[in-house]
Amino acid sequence: MYYELRTYTIKPTKLGDWLALYKSAALAVQQEHLGNLIGFFTTEIGEVNQVVHIWGYASLDDRISRRNAMAADPRWQDFAQQNKALDAVVSLESRLLRPTDFSPLQ
C-alpha cells in the first residue's frame, strides 16, 4: 500500500471559499476515481491556511491509473477551471509514502 499526502497552501482569505468549491465540485469525483480517502484536514497550528488530505493506493501503478481516469473526467476538468478562476491555491506539495513493516497503516 502507498499513501499520497497532498498539502495545499491556500490564500488566507480564500480558505472557506476553496473548501466550499472542493466539497461541491471535486470531492465526489475524487472519491469515485481515487477511492480510498484516509483523511481530509485543515491546519490549526503551525503553517495555517493549509488543506491536507491523504489517499491510499494499492500500488504506484494503481495511483497512476486512478489519477489518469480522474483527469479525463469532465467533472474534474470543470472543477479545475473553477479552481483556477477562484485563484485560491498558492502551492501544492505531494508526497508518496510507503509504510514501514510496523506501521498501523499498511
**In total, how many domains does the chain have?**
1
77 within some domain: yes
Q: What is the pLDDT of residue 106?
A: 87
* C-alpha pair distances (Å), 89 with each of 10, 17, 44: 5, 11, 18
List the CATH number of the domain containing 63. Answer: 3.30.70.100
Domain range enclosing 33:
2-97
Q: In this structure, how many other beta carbons lie within 10 angstroms of the beta carbon of residue 51?
A: 20
- pTM for this prediction: 0.90
Query: How far is CA 93 from its chain centroid?
Result: 10
- What does the pLDDT look like over 40-82, one tens digit per residue? 999 999 999 999 999 999 999 999 999 999 999 999 999 999 9
